[in-house]
Amino acid sequence: MVSRCIRCLAVSAETSFAGYRYVRSKNIRPVSNWNLGQSEGPFEDLDAFMNRADALAESLLESGIDAMKIWPFDPAAQENNGLYISAAQMKKAIEPLEKIRKAVGDRMDIMVEFHSLWNLPTAKKIARALEPYAPMWYEDPIRMNSPQALAEYARSTDVWVCASETLGSRWPFKDFLEKDALHVAMVDLCWTGGLTEGRKIASLAETWHRPFAPHDCIGPVGFVAAVHMSFSQPNTLIQESVRAFYRGWYNELVTVLPRIENGYVYPMEGPGLGVELQPTVFKRQDLTVRRTPA
């Protein structure tokens, strides 16, 4: 039994802050799957960070979680195709950060996720507007297809740049690191090549003296794998988690999930990943099976 535990990132739509139905269906389009105003339980954290960010921050701190990721700029990006942001939209999107800082001061780390929805000039404008609220990092502010553009963005702000769950394999990470375009390597193991490639990316980030932060929003098996990865890498900064997922629909799919207490996730036990799919998964009407020929 490994005694080390890893700090958990709470994000409301990801605790990271998502609600119970965020990315649960095949609808993964930004904003359209937010289900604001609906409630299926106590952890509708996406709705909370959009409308009651102060109360949410206080609740998280009471449960031992002192880092939260929010994405209040997505509605404006959808309305304007990421081309610009009006003064009214900027004011509205900043409100959650204002509420958090007013309610809990600097006791909460705030990560701001942008889902690669903005062009570079607007992303830089938003970054400057948010700096007074001392975010911990800005995540995927622009499309992850230009190390040069992201490097320009990184030079424009003192806030860390986190990138990117959308990159596949270590090669694009190498390009971004060589351009000094990212400060935190956020990796999704399901998208980038599994544990083997994830370990290589974490080591690559360490070579550039950068921390590593595994992503969670894909599903329970990916989350469990990410927790294993977190414990295996010396430069792991934080493990993303989603309360509405690990307290909700993740349990419909797997037999066991990592223990999360007081803002920390603890190591799994048992061989391999230490988790199996629930037998009922194989009887679901919405099950899709893909087999690779031998």
Residue 101 pLDDT grade (very low, low, confident, very high; cuts 50, 70, 90): very high
Element (H, E) at 70: strand 67-70
Which residue is it, tokens 């990865």?
Answer: 229
**pLDDT reading at 18 higher than 60:** no
Quick check: 225 and 192 in contact, CB under 8 A? no
Q: For the segment 262-273, what is each residue's pLDDT rounded down to a tens digit?
A: 899 999 888 999
> What is the domain extent for residue 277?
6-283
Q: Tens digit of pLDDT for each residue in 128-161?
A: 999 999 999 999 999 999 999 999 999 999 999 9
Burial of 101-134, coded b for 16+ CB within 10 Å and e otherwise, reads bebbeeebbbbbbbbbbbbbebbbebbeebeeee
Position 217 confidence tier, pLDDT thresholds 50, 70, 90: confident
Residue 48 is predicted with a pLDDT of 87
Determine the distance from the C-alpha atom of residue 6 to the mean position of all C-alpha atoms in its chain, rounded to a whole number. 15
Asked whether residue 289 is assigned to any structural domain, the reply reads no
pTM above 0.85, yes or no: yes
Asked whether residue 65 is assigned to any structural domain, the reply reads yes
Q: Are 126 and 73 in contact (CB under 8 A)?
A: yes
For the record, the structure tokens of 176 come out as 């971004």
Distances (CA, A) of 161 to 14, 54, 112, 120: 18, 25, 10, 13
Q: Is residue 288, in this structure, part of any structural domain at all?
A: no
What pLDDT was estimated at residue 12?
31
The pLDDT of residue 23? 53
pLDDT at 136: 97
Angle, vertex CA 126, rays to CA 128 and CA 188, nearest 5: 110
Residues constituting the chain: 294
Q: Which of 61, 51, 65 is nearest to 16 (CA)?
A: 65
Percent of the chain with pLDDT over 70: 86
Q: Compute the average pLDDT of residues 54-59.
A: 94
CA diameter of the chain: 59
The CATH number that applies at residue 67 is 3.20.20.120
Does a structural domain hold residue 292? Answer: no
Which residues neighbour 223 within 8 Å (Cβ) at sequence distance 6 or greater?
Answer: 216, 241, 245, 246, 250, 257, 258
State the total domains in the chain. Answer: 1
How confident is residue 210, by pLDDT bands cut at 50, 70 and 90?
A: very high
The whole-angstrom separation of Cα 58 and Cα 65 is 10
**pLDDT tens digits, one per residue of 160-172:** 999 999 999 999 9
Looking at residue 46, its pLDDT comes to 82
Looking at residue 95, its pLDDT comes to: 98
Cβ neighbors of 165 (< 8 A, separation 6 or more) are: 140, 186, 187, 188, 191, 215, 217
The secondary element (H helix, E strand) that includes residue 83 is none
> Looking at the domain assignment, is residue 11 inside a domain?
yes
d(CA 19, CA 35): 8
Q: What's the burial of 261, exposed, middle or buried (CB within 10 Å: 0-12/13-18/19+)?
A: exposed
Q: Model confidence at 32, in pLDDT bands (50, 70, 90)?
A: low
pLDDT higher than 50, residue 3:
no
